[in-house]
Amino acid sequence: MEDFYLAYQSLIAFVGINALLALSVYATLSCGQLSLANAGFMAIGAYTGALITLHAPQVPFGLVLFISAILPSIIAVPLGLPVLRLRGVFLAIATIGFGEVVRLAFVNWDFTNGALGLVAIPQRTQPWILWLMVAVVIFVLARLRGSRTGYALEAIREDETAARTMGIETTRYKMAMLALGAAIAGLAGALEAHFTFIVSPAGYGFGRVVDMLVQAVVGGTAMLFGPVLGAAFLTLLPEILREIGARIGLAPGPFRLFLNGVILLVVILYLPEGIISLPQRLRRRKKAA
Amino acid sequence: MLTLTNVLRTFGGVKAVDDATFTVEKGEVHGLIGPNGAGKTTLLNLISGLMPPTSGSIALEGKRVDRLPPQKIAALGISRTYQNIRLFAGLSAVDNVVVGQHLRRQSPFLPRLLLLPKARLEEQAARKAAFDGLARVGLRERALTPASSLSYGEQRRVEIARALAAGPKLLLLDEPTAGMNPPEAAEVARLVREVAREGRSVLLVEHNVRLVMELCDRITVLNFGKVIARGTPAEIGKDPAVIAAYLGDGA
Amino acid sequence: MGQQILNGIFVGSIYALFAVGYTLVFGVLDILNLAHQAVFMLSAFVALALVENAHLSIWLALPLAIIAGGLMGIVLERLAFRPLRGRAGSNISGLISSLAMATVFEAIALQLFGPDTSRFPQGTFPDRMIQFGSASASLLQVCIAGISVAMMAVLTFLLAKTRLGRSIRAVAESPRAARILGIDVDKVIMLSFFLSSALAGAAGVLFGLAFNSISQDVGRSVELKGLAVIILGGMGSVPGAVIAGFAIGLVEVFTVAYIGSSYRDAVSFAVLFVVLVARPSGLLGQVAVREA
């Protein structure tokens, strides 16, 4: 019974961490920017947090988390200045490049133990801390809606040029959301590092940021709850598939991967606004019938 | 209020706007007419800052605005609508107007985070003002409709409400009655008159020449990017250059 | 020095071949096809299976694998891209649906070939060295470079001189205008995908032969490098991709030789970044890169 709880506690924690990451991607998507830099910001937060804890263990965890969130958001500014001018897919590619540069930097840096990463990080992340952070982030993002800022972000997403002619300082807002997303990602990185005991550059590559994006989009970005739902769905799905696969006697790897791909394809083709749009769609279908 | 001096704008070798000089007075309804491709929309784009003039100057209340980015120009008091209608399609009509209030709203972030009533009151006031703005263009009942579901004429009216929401000193209207039936167009004309009486200036680009003649205090006529005539409707109606350019049809 | 140049040309030719297909689809659909690398990978496996299990000669397996790659491209287009046509925000959706297909392809590769790294059996390719003055290259390397260049030349000819090529360029410029001109846009897009993926397949087989290692994640690292290449070359520009591919191949080889191998990958991204910041349209790109 204890083992069961322990195994699932770990899974639930990953849902929480992935929820934060999906929300960090949502932050920039909400103003129409596809930024794929968050794996890099996550890495910065993870390493920062781990290094502080390992070299200065007396620093309270709250402060560690704070610094792990602030540092990436500060770094986001010089990144954003040249990069936010770029259109759609070019912004995405530039930010992918940034993420890779960060990862490679950590791989090649002796201070952070290069490709081996850092180990034996004390497990300071408790479930309550994690879910408190998720609640805080959702709260902050929710408070944006309905505010002058929230409306400005939506306007920028819909039509940036028209937004400018209404006096909206679009670059400033995009930068703010990039920094906010970076902070959330950094926070998630530090939380994860203090949960899984290790920090390794391999965990912050292109695949990671793609996971975040997929979770945000599959969940749906019209409501804040969407990315959280997406994170839950896509974190738990492989586990569920693994159970099913094991029962049917299929080799776990390929089957899970295959189904992952198929489900993702089905969702993006038939539920483009994400899983949260499902009740609305069904309602519309019923009305039409 | 608005002064254009020798404004030139070229694209490649083509002079879209060629040595344009005219003024718009405070509280004036100023018409800008000319055949298709005369450079009217380009002129509006120059004034609102979407592109800089190749040379020449544009001044608002004496202050140069021609090299400023669009958001700074908007902050100085210029709002506009678009020939192709650029509403925020995914937002409702009222939300579009709320966006238009951006320059007038406060941004009390700390009170928002702390859930202080000040924040909610501000938000409610903004929405109420937006509903009122829609009522002014006769669309209060359509407030919650997604902008993309509105009729063409309704969309144009929402755009006007959105532009007015910032309380501009100068309102640029790019073919606001295009696609409207006569009663709707007359309503827009009435609104423009009212807006001007409030002390705002209106620069009105229109193809409906009759409307322009009835509504405007003065008119500037463009053809091939050049100003070919300036004056009152009566003067313009008699100007041979204007008549030659296009006044022959649909007047 | 001469040796480095040879090595650079050889590596660069594979990058260029990969990037050319990548940029072709982008030019036509304005979409980044994240399954390109999966076709690259799966085609290598197809060639491997043909050589190992069907005992075909590599000279037969290569064209067959290329065709297989092209067919994968058609499947991709029908399943992942066509349903999204005309949708708003189709850029992100296209990214994700191509990603989904990449995952599916990877799963297929995993199922059919297992997780371990495979290699072409000994004797697949004659083992011979050729001298170029003070530098030497294996016959394999020379053939790879030669085949890459030949395929890129064929594509360039196709785009410039044939009716299909003109149609592709028209659709890339404006699908709506192309339709008005009577071009069957759907067919053109399908054929673009066929060509693009066939080239990816070729690149995959050649890569597998060159580095003698084939596995599911072989595509990932090349994909990111491919991004640097198409950005440097200019999105949508096939000649740009060719030049940039060779350029990056050479720069990489020289970086490893004179600075250190740990900087090899960093160089591509440094290039990517500098280009996007300083000259976003790249060497020969035409696509609008800044916000309107």
Residue C144 in this model has a pLDDT that exceeds 90:
no
Residues C4, C10 contacting (CB under 8 angstroms) = no
Contact criterion met (CB < 8 Å) for A269 and C83: yes
Two tokens, residue A179: 């920094």
Greatest mean pLDDT among B106-110, B114-118, C29-33, C200-204: C200-204
The DSSP result for B3-26, as a single string, is: EEEEEEEEETTEEEEEEEEEEE-T
Mean pLDDT of C135-142: 83
Residues B1, B175 contacting (CB under 8 angstroms) = no
What is the C-alpha separation between B144 and C276, in angstroms, rounded? 41
| Chain A positions with Cβ closer than 8 Å to C | 34, 82-83, 85-90, 92-94, 96-98, 100-101, 104-105, 107-108, 160-161, 206-207, 210, 213-214, 217, 251, 253-258, 260-262, 264-265, 268-269, 272
Mean pLDDT of A80-107: 88
What is the C-alpha separation between A101 and C189, in angstroms, rounded? 34
Residues of chain C with Cβ-Cβ distance to A96 below 8 Å are 224, 227
Mean pLDDT of B102-130: 83
CA distance C143 to chain A (A): 32
Mean pLDDT of C58-75: 93
Residue among A161, A260, A269 whose CB faces C292 most closely:
A161
The DSSP bridge partners found for residue B31 are B204, B219
Looking at residue B113, its pLDDT comes to 75
Contact criterion met (CB < 8 Å) for A155 and B49: no
Looking at residue C90, its pLDDT comes to 64
Contact criterion met (CB < 8 Å) for A264 and C277: no
Pairing of strands B55-60, C129-132: unpaired
C196-248 pLDDT, tens digit per residue, is: 999 999 999 999 888 888 888 788 888 888 999 999 998 888 889 999 999 99
Query: What is chain A's mean pLDDT, rounded?
Result: 88
Residue B69 in this model has a pLDDT that exceeds 70:
yes
Looking at residue A276, its pLDDT comes to 87
Looking at residue C292, its pLDDT comes to 36
Residues C238, C23 contacting (CB under 8 angstroms) = yes
Residues 6+ apart with CB under 8 A from B54: B8, B9, B10
Looking at residue B243, its pLDDT comes to 79
What is the C-alpha separation between A158 and B147, in angstroms, rounded? 12
Residue of A215, A240, A241, A213 lying closest to A228 (CA atoms): A215
CA distance B5 to chain A (A): 22
- Which value, to the nearest 10 degrees, does the dihedral of the CA atoms of residues A173, A174, A180, A182 take? -160
Residue A252 in this model has a pLDDT that exceeds 80:
no
Looking at residue C288, its pLDDT comes to 59
Which chains contact C through at least 3 pairs of Cβ atoms less than 8 Å apart? A
Mean pLDDT of C120-133: 79
Contact criterion met (CB < 8 Å) for A149 and B107: yes
Residue among A140, A146, A170 whose CB faces B123 most closely:
A146
What is the C-alpha separation between B18 and A137, in angstroms, rounded? 54
Domain ranges of chain B: 1-77+168-251, 84-167
Looking at residue B192, its pLDDT comes to 92
Looking at residue A115, its pLDDT comes to 82
Q: What is the pTM of this model?
A: 0.89
Contact criterion met (CB < 8 Å) for C272 and A160: no
Looking at residue C291, its pLDDT comes to 43
Touching check for A126 and chain B: CB below 8 Å?
Answer: no
Q: CA nearest B76 in A: which residue?
A: A167
Residue with the larger pLDDT of the pair C10 and C134: C10
Residue C290 in this model has a pLDDT that exceeds 60:
no
Looking at residue B102, its pLDDT comes to 92
Touching check for A167 and chain B: CB below 8 Å?
Answer: yes
* Gyration radius (Cα) of chain A, Å: 19
Lowest mean pLDDT among A122-126, A179-183, A230-234, B226-230: A122-126
Residue with the larger pLDDT of the pair B245 and B49: B49
Residue B204 in this model has a pLDDT that exceeds 80:
yes
What is the C-alpha separation between C169 and C155, in angstroms, rounded? 12
Domain ranges of chain C: 2-113+149-278
Residue with the larger pLDDT of the pair A164 and C90: A164
DSSP, res C80: I
Residue among A152, A161, A167 whose CB faces B75 most closely:
A167
Residues A232, A243 contacting (CB under 8 angstroms) = no
DSSP, res C120: P
Query: What is chain C's mean pLDDT, rounded?
Result: 87
Q: CA nearest C111 in A: which residue?
A: A254
CA distance A180 to chain B (A): 14
Residue among B90, B100, B112 whose CB faces A158 most closely:
B90
Residue of B41, B37, B33 lying closest to B214 (CA atoms): B33
The DSSP bridge partners found for residue B30 are B203, B218
How many degrees, rounded to 5, is the angle at CA A124 between CA A122 and CA A128?
155
Residues of chain C with Cβ-Cβ distance to A161 below 8 Å are 291-292
Q: Domain B1-77+168-251 belongs to what topology?
A: Rossmann fold (3.40.50)
Looking at residue A250, its pLDDT comes to 62
- Angle, in degrees to the nearest 10, between helices A206-219 and A2-29: 80
Residue with the larger pLDDT of the pair C103 and C134: C103
What is the C-alpha separation between B217 and B25, in angstroms, rounded? 10
Quickly state the pLDDT bin for B110 (edges 50, 70, 90). confident
Greatest mean pLDDT among A277-281, B18-22, C91-95: B18-22
Q: CA nearest A161 in C: which residue?
A: C292
Domain B84-167 belongs to what architecture?
3-Layer(aba) Sandwich (3.40)
Looking at residue A190, its pLDDT comes to 94
Residues 6+ apart with CB under 8 A from B35: B223, B245, B246
Two tokens, residue C228: 């640097």
CA distance C33 to chain A (A): 11
Mean pLDDT of C280-287: 77
Residue B251 in this model has a pLDDT that exceeds 70:
no
Touching check for C227 and chain A: CB below 8 Å?
Answer: yes
